[in-house]
Amino acid sequence: MIAEVITDVSAHPVDRPFDYLVPQRMETVIERGARVKVPFGNRKVLGFVTGFKEQSDIPVNKLRPIDELLDLEPVLTGEMLDLADWMKRETLCFEIDALQVMLPSALRAKYEKVIHVLEPDRIGSEAAGIIGSRNAVALKEFPERLLPSLKRLSQEGAISIETGIRQRTSIKKERVLHIAGPENLADVREGIKKSAHRQAALIDWMLAHAGETIPTRDVMELTGTTRATVKALLEKGAAAETEVEVYRKPEVGLLDEAGGDPVMLTDEQADAVSRISRAADEGREETFLLHGITGSGKTEVYMQVIRRVLEQGKEAIVLVPEISLTPQITSRFKKRFGPLVAVMHSGLSAGEKYDEWRKVQRGEVKVVVGARSAVFAPFRNLGAVILDEEHESSYKQEDSPRYHARDVAIRRAEMHGCPVILGSATPSLESFARAHKGVYTLLTLSERAKQQPLPEVRIVDMREELKNGNRSMFSVDLAEAIRDRLGKGEQTVLFLNRRGYSSFVLCRDCGTAVQCPNCDISLTYHRASERLQCHYCGHEEPVPLICPECGSEHIRFFGTGTQKVQEELHRLFPEARVLRMDVDTTRQKGAHEKLLRQFGDGEADILLGTQMIAKGLDFPNITLVGVLSADTMLRLSDFRAAEKTFQLLTQVSGRAGRHEKEGQVYIQTYAPEHYAVELSKEQAFEPFYAIEMANRKRFSYPPFYYITLIRFSHEDLMTVADTAEKAVAWLAGKLGGDTVIIGPTASEVARVNNRYRYQCLIKYKKEPKLAGVLTDLVKIYRSSWMKEGLLMSIDMNPSSIS
């Protein structure tokens, strides 16, 4: 028997199956989707078995046998193997990367060079000291200067150096005692000496638990005995001890959140649930776009659909943008479905992620709530896939494999015959257009579940404020409203869109901001470290006292960071209790939940934060939302700038007045007349959609055209410009007449890490040859450009082109 194996080597020439002999002993147990350790060149690597055959095209003498079978139960299902193949074609990634992204990182291999001692007498004294009595030692334990002598010893055959493969995170195990039957225990009891009080006590306790299986640790705790005592009885046969796999218990940090019980649905909600349920009942693949204004109760729809799916004995996946940012929604699912729910998000340790994954694999849970990669949850009988906030850009992975969770969800739903639900108050234009065309089924929730009115939204023109001499970041009106809420004991959320607007250091004499030495971008001032940082390459330097350009002492901080806003808040409202939520204050594990809980418990008057507070926040006492600078995003040179701005403003506004008290929203902007700002006021999605669609059509952008972005980078500006030019000329000759190629142009940030960046954009409606043409382009890249130090990357359907 011959196995086809995809090896854990991410490179072009080996991006295909390799044939291996299956040793006799493995023949009956090896399965597709199992991990194996195989010889590859002169080392050992991990691989995935993707298929079997009887004959190989490779001469038999070149075939080598599989070294070791790592999984008796395959880690990947047949569906996953097919999915990887599909992803490879769709995103032009390596198959191994597609396979790896489906698994928790704990199952990925960690390679380590290990020396095996063959002839101990020939090893020098220093190395021998490190080795001691062991016969296999990790190479990294030796100091660097010993490496030449170890190499020599290896050549002489005194030691051998091999690559060992270790699982990254150990499977957590626990010792359990299988207590013997009463007769056996009685026998053992007889033989215990009078002086052995402890043993006597323990065996008496065991008599009361004869035949049971109990964790050793618990037994020791309950009886107040030590391991020595337990061991003594083990030897006498009173119990047997084994190890079982146990799960780590991640801190779920349940918020005090309603949602335990199903609630009465509005007519619209009930209709949505019944139409989705029908598709689920009939095992029909159908994609629904659930368009519901903020506060319209989309989550309740999801939960009732899931209940239906569970009743059919099937499973469900719920994707949320970045779950650690929205602990509220997880809490609701946990409350409703209890132990049937697994949670997967970036806040968990590798071990915890593995444990959650195992629960799914073993069929112990039926619902997964998680971020992007949870779309690969290894369910075998999927009944529904839900993407909440489907417009969120975090569903697209930014590095290889550049997949979109929405596409994977729909693909899996096709394979399982089940509905997909895309939910949003502000759907992406792509999805809404598909719903219009009838590709997706549109379900609309137009009223808020608790019948609250939408918050009143006021747009504040900051240019007027400037004219009137107000140079503060708070307009007179917003400051007044904050004061009012402080007086009434109600809560305020202040939102600062930091993107492109963070604090930088500016010289007032020459007008330049301090630049990163490696990238064409201004450095950002970080208060916590009192240093300047580059967000692209990580470069860090102390804050200069004089301008590095002109030597002037007139340098000052410019821009608005959350820390600066906090200081100003403190100055304006010394009595206000302010919680700040941004990357700096939420870095610690569980910090999100903690801050949100504090705010929910009324421990603060004002919550000040960035993007991360735009979603999911739902507290009754919030009656004021302030957006400090609505239009910073509009300045991005990206075709989605208006869409993102509209989405963000609508989401943020939706945080106010979700319960009994009415809400009010202030949006501060320098571009009050922009349609994205103007229309977010009434959550007027359809009018916004109409205008934005017209613009997209005019400029040939999605959803009217598909786009593919190709990026080039090189240390030398001329080289990258020339190569990009060559690539575009080559593409132009191969692609159809309706296809438009924009560029090459220098990227928005033209230099990162001392590499110059160029890009070109391909716009097309129908281009069946594209995948093939791009594959050929990659071949040209590999055979010549790559060797000159050029890097090229291709992103099919990028979520951003800036």
* Min dist. Cβ of residue 710 to DNA (A): 19
Of 33-41, 85-93, 182-190, 417-425, which part binds DNA (CB under 7 A)? 33-41
Residue 110 binds DNA (CB under 7 A): no
Structure tokens at 633: 């995003």
Query: In the set 10, 184, 274, 797, which binds DNA (CB under 7 A)?
Result: 10
Q: Is the dihedral of CA 711, 717, 720, 722 positive or negative?
A: positive
- The answer to whether 7 touches 46, Cβ cutoff 8 Å, is yes
Structure tokens at 110: 């960690």
Structure tokens at 76: 């990947």
**Nearer of residues 13 and 313 to DNA, judged by Cβ:** 13
Amino acid at 350: A
Query: In the set 24, 25, 62, 193, which binds DNA (CB under 7 A)?
Result: 62
Number of residues that bind DNA (CB under 7 A): 24
Amino acid at 212: E
Q: What angle do CA 670, 610, 639 make, to 5 degrees?
A: 55
User: Residue 357 and residue 74: Cα distance in Å, rounded?
Assistant: 13
Residue 288 bridge partners (DSSP) = 421, 441
* Min dist. Cβ of residue 42 to DNA (A): 5
Of 40-48, 125-133, 360-368, 792-800, which part binds DNA (CB under 7 A)? 40-48
Helix (H, G, I), strand (E, B) or coil at 734: helix
- The answer to whether 141 touches 122, Cβ cutoff 8 Å, is no
Residue 411 bridge partners (DSSP) = none
Query: In the set 27, 53, 58, 170, which binds DNA (CB under 7 A)?
Result: 58
Helix (H, G, I), strand (E, B) or coil at 63: coil
- The answer to whether 510 touches 556, Cβ cutoff 8 Å, is no
CA distances (Å), origin 575, targets 97, 428, 487, 572, 585: 53, 41, 11, 9, 21
* Min dist. Cβ of residue 113 to DNA (A): 7
Going residue by residue from 63 to 102, which x/- string records binding to DNA, judged by CB under 7 A? xx--------------------------------------
* Per-residue DSSP letter, 781: I
Q: Is 760 annotated for ligand binding?
A: no
Of 41-49, 126-134, 586-594, 663-671, which part binds DNA (CB under 7 A)? 41-49
CA distances (Å), origin 172, targets 206, 245, 248, 672, 768: 26, 6, 7, 56, 49
Q: Is 519 annotated for ligand binding?
A: yes
Residue 278 binds DNA (CB under 7 A): no
Of 17-25, 696-704, 724-732, 767-775, which part binds DNA (CB under 7 A)? 17-25
Amino acid at 372: R
CA distances (Å), origin 335, targets 338, 363, 550: 5, 20, 61
- The answer to whether 585 touches 591, Cβ cutoff 8 Å, is yes
Query: In the set 6, 20, 37, 712, which binds DNA (CB under 7 A)?
Result: 20
* Min dist. Cβ of residue 5 to DNA (A): 8
* Min dist. Cβ of residue 50 to DNA (A): 12
* Min dist. Cβ of residue 13 to DNA (A): 4
Of 39-47, 451-459, 519-527, 551-559, which part binds DNA (CB under 7 A)? 39-47
Going residue by residue from 759 to 798, which x/- string records binding to DNA, judged by CB under 7 A? ----------------------------x-----------
Q: Is 418 annotated for ligand binding?
A: no
Residue 146 binds DNA (CB under 7 A): no
Residue 40 binds DNA (CB under 7 A): yes
Instruction: Report the side by side order of strands in the sheet with 239-245.
Output: 213-215, 173-179, 239-245
Give the H or E element holding residue 353: helix 350-361
Query: In the set 18, 689, 701, 764, which binds DNA (CB under 7 A)?
Result: 18
Give the H or E element holding residue 507: strand 504-507
Of 62-70, 78-86, 678-686, 790-798, which part binds DNA (CB under 7 A)? 62-70
- The answer to whether 597 touches 255, Cβ cutoff 8 Å, is yes
Give the H or E element holding residue 330: helix 327-337
Of 36-44, 271-279, 468-476, 658-666, which part binds DNA (CB under 7 A)? 36-44
Structure tokens at 160: 């051998």
Query: In the set 24, 25, 41, 193, which binds DNA (CB under 7 A)?
Result: 41
Of 28-36, 59-67, 363-371, 647-655, which part binds DNA (CB under 7 A)? 59-67
**Nearer of residues 138 and 690 to DNA, judged by Cβ:** 138
Phi, psi of 137 (to 5 degrees): -135, 140
| Cis, bond preceding 744 (omega within 30 deg of 0) | yes
Residue 149 binds DNA (CB under 7 A): no
* Direct distance between the N- and C-terminal alpha carbons of the chain, in angstroms, rounded to an integer: 51
Residue 56 binds DNA (CB under 7 A): yes
**Nearer of residues 10 and 167 to DNA, judged by Cβ:** 10
**Nearer of residues 41 and 487 to DNA, judged by Cβ:** 41
Q: Is 537 annotated for ligand binding?
A: yes
Going residue by residue from 158 to 187, which x/- string records binding to DNA, judged by CB under 7 A? -----x------------------------
Residue 14 binds DNA (CB under 7 A): yes
* Per-residue DSSP letter, 744: E
Residue 48 bridge partners (DSSP) = 6, 35
Residue 155 binds DNA (CB under 7 A): no
For binding to DNA (CB under 7 A), which residues are involved?
9-11, 13-14, 18-21, 38-43, 56, 58, 62-64, 111, 113, 163, 787
Which residues participate in the annotated binding site? 507, 510, 516, 519, 534, 537, 547, 550
Residues making up the annotated binding site for Zn(2+) are: 507, 510, 516, 519, 534, 537, 547, 550
